[in-house]
A and B are shown apart, each in its own frame.
Chain A
Amino acid sequence: MYNEKVMEVFRNPKNVGEIENPDGVGRVGNASCGDIMEIQLKIENDIIVDAKFRTFGCAAAIATSSTATEMVKGMTVEDALKLTNKKVVETLGGLPAQKLHCSVLAEEAIKKAIEDYLSKKK
C-alpha cells in the first residue's frame, strides 16, 4: 500500500522531537481518531529556521510530519502558509487514498504553528 519513499521516511523520519522555547506550536487531531500531530517551529525574522514534530499516528502520519517539517525549514512564514497537503503528498510520491487525511493534518499543524507565532508577535 505504501511506496518505498513513504516507508523510507517512516523508517528514518527527520525532525523528531521538541524545540526549546519554540516560537510557534501547532497541535491537531485527537487520540480517538487515531492521529495527533504536534509541530514546533523556531522562527527568526519571519524565516523558519527549525521545525520539529511529534506524532501519534500511522506510518503515513509520521512520514507526512517528517516531510512537511523538512519542507518548511528555510521558508518564510508567508511561503510556509502556502504549503498544501498536495505538495507534501507529491514530495512523498503519493499516498493511498484513505491516508490523504494525514497530509491534511500536516498542513493544518504547520498553519496552526505559524498562526501561533503570528498571534504572539502582535
Chain B
Amino acid sequence: MVKTPIYFDHAATTPLDKKVLDKMMPYLTDNFGNANSQHVFGRNAVKGVDDARDTIAGFINCKPSELYFTSGGTEADNWALRGVAHAYKNKGKHLIISPIEHAAMIVTAKALVKEGFSVDFMKVDKDGFIDLEHLKSIIRDDTIFVGCMLANNEVGTIEPIKEMAKIAHEKGAIAFTDAVQAAGVLDIDVKDLGVDLMSMSSHKIYGPKGVGALYIRNGLKVESIITGGHQERTKRGGTTNVAGVVGFAEAFRLAMADREKNFEYVTSLRDRFIDRILQEVPYVKLNGPYKTNRLPANADFSFEYIEGESILFSLDLAGIAVSSGSACSSGSLEPSHVLLSLGLPEELAHGSIRFSFGKHNTVEEVDYAVEEIKSAVKRLREMSPLFNAKGEIKNV
C-alpha cells in the first residue's frame, strides 16, 4: 500500500531539500548579518551571497556580475519586461510575447499597454510550440522585446528559444526567456541560447521559496522596478535574502550534480503515467507534446465530459495532490489561457489536470494514481449530463 498523500504538483513548488536547509541554517542564525554592512557580520553575509552568485552564474555560463537576485520568478519576469520597456521606450514601443506565458508576463504586458506600449502575441501550435515564421511576420523595426518561456509550466513544451533569440536579434530586439520551470532541469547556457535576459526561481528545484534571479547580459539597460538601497549593484533595492540566496545556489548545485539521473528517472515516471492514462482512460487528451521536447516532470490531460476542479478534489480525497488548469481552482471562471491558445475548445480546457512529478515519487505512486484517476473519472462521468449511464456519449 502506498503512503498518502502523494505529491504530484512539483511544477507548483517542491519540498526544501534537507541539504539545502543545512546550508541555509548558518545564515539564519550565526551569520545573520546584513550583506550591506561593512563589519565582520556583513562581510560574512556577503561571502555567502558572492559564493552563491558564482555558483549559479557558472551553471548558466554567465558572469557573476550579470546575475541579479530577486524575490522570485514573478519579480524577475516583471523586471525583465517592464525594465526593458521603460529603458528602451525611445527606441520603440512594440513588445512580443507568447500567449502561453505566466501571468507574471501577461498581466505586466497588459499594464504596459495602458502606458502606451503595444503588445503582439506570437502564435503557438497545438502542442504549444511557438511559430517562428509567425514571429518573423510580426516583428518590426520598433520591436524592443521578444520573450517566451523556455519550458511551459502548464503543458511542459520546451520551446525553440535559440531560434527565437536569433530572430529577435536580427531586428535589433532584446530576447528574453522565463526559465522558471527549466533551470536546474535542462542544461542551460545563456550564451548558447543567445538570450539577453533570463528569469529563474529557487523553489521549483527543492530550494527555498521567496528567491529567484534575473540574468541581465552586461551592457543591457534595464530600468529598476524596486528602487531603494545599493543592493545588487544598485539595480534592485531591498536587503538581500542571504539565507534564501545561499539555499537557491545549493539547490541549483544539487540539481545540476544529479541532473541527468533525475531527468531520466522522472521522465520514466512521466512516460509510464502518460501511456497508462492514454491506454486505460477513455475520452482523454494529452495536452502538450507527446514525450519529445516535453519537461520530464509534466503530464497534462483533459478529461472529456467532466470538469477539472471536481477531478482535483476527487483525487485530493484519494490522497493525490495535483493542479487544475481550469477555471475554478484559480478563483477565476476563465478556463486556462494556455489551453485555449493551443486551440482547445473551452469545455476541454475546463477539464484539464496537470500532474508534475518529482525525484522522490515512485512507480508505485504512479500506478496507484492511475487506478484512482480511473475510478474518479468514471464516478464523475456517471454524474455528468454529457455522458449517460451506459458510458455512451450523449449527442449534445
Q: Which residues of A contact B (CB under 8 A)?
A: 2, 7, 10-11, 13, 16-18, 27, 31-38, 54-62, 96, 98-99, 101
Query: Closest chain B residue to A66 by CB distance?
Result: B383
- Contact yes or no, B331 A7, CB < 8 A: no
- Contact yes or no, B307 A56, CB < 8 A: yes
Contact residue among B333, B347, B389 (Cβ-Cβ distance under 8 Å from A101): B333
Interface: B346 (CB within 8 A) = yes
- Which residues 279-336 of B sit at the A interface, judged by CB distance below 8 A? 305-307, 309-310, 313, 317, 326-328, 331-333, 335
Q: List chain A residues, Cβ under 8 A from B383.
A: 13, 16, 54-55, 62
Contact residue among B310, B317, B335, B345 (Cβ-Cβ distance under 8 Å from A57): B310
- Contact yes or no, B307 A57, CB < 8 A: yes
Tell me what chain A mostly uses at the interface: helix, strand, loop, or mixed: mixed
Q: A7-B313, A54-B384, A56-B384 are in contact. Are A31 and B333 (CB under 8 A)?
A: no
Q: A16-B382, A31-B347 are in contact. Are A98 and B331 (CB under 8 A)?
A: yes
Q: A7-B317, A58-B307 are in contact. Are A17 and B389 (CB under 8 A)?
A: yes
The CA of A35 and the CA of B333, in the complex, are separated in Å by: 10
Q: List chain B residues, Cβ under 8 A from A27.
A: 385
Query: Closest chain B residue to A57 by CB distance?
Result: B307
Q: List chain B residues, Cβ under 8 A from A13.
A: 383
Interface: B386 (CB within 8 A) = yes
Interface: B236 (CB within 8 A) = no
The CA of A7 and the CA of B346, in the complex, are separated in Å by: 26
Closest chain B CB from A60 CB (angstroms)? 8
Tell me what chain B mostly uses at the interface: helix, strand, loop, or mixed: loop
Query: Closest chain B residue to A33 by CB distance?
Result: B333
- Contact yes or no, B389 A34, CB < 8 A: no
The CA of A7 and the CA of B389, in the complex, are separated in Å by: 24
Interface: B102 (CB within 8 A) = no
- Contact yes or no, B350 A98, CB < 8 A: no
The CA of A67 and the CA of B299, in the complex, are separated in Å by: 35
- Contact yes or no, B386 A98, CB < 8 A: no
- Contact yes or no, A56 B305, CB < 8 A: yes
Max chain B Cβ within 10 angstroms of own Cβ: one of A11, A17, A59: A59
Contact residue among A34, A37, A99 (Cβ-Cβ distance under 8 Å from B326): A34
Contact residue among A11, A35, A61 (Cβ-Cβ distance under 8 Å from B317): A11
The CA of A57 and the CA of B384, in the complex, are separated in Å by: 8
- Contact yes or no, A58 B328, CB < 8 A: yes
- Contact yes or no, B335 A18, CB < 8 A: no
Query: Closest chain B residue to A56 by CB distance?
Result: B384
Q: List chain A residues, Cβ under 8 A from B347.
A: 31-32, 34
Q: B363-396 vs A: 1/0 string, CB under 8 Å? A: 0000000000000000000111110010000001
Closest chain A CB from B378 CB (angstroms)? 13
Closest chain B CB from A54 CB (angstroms)? 4
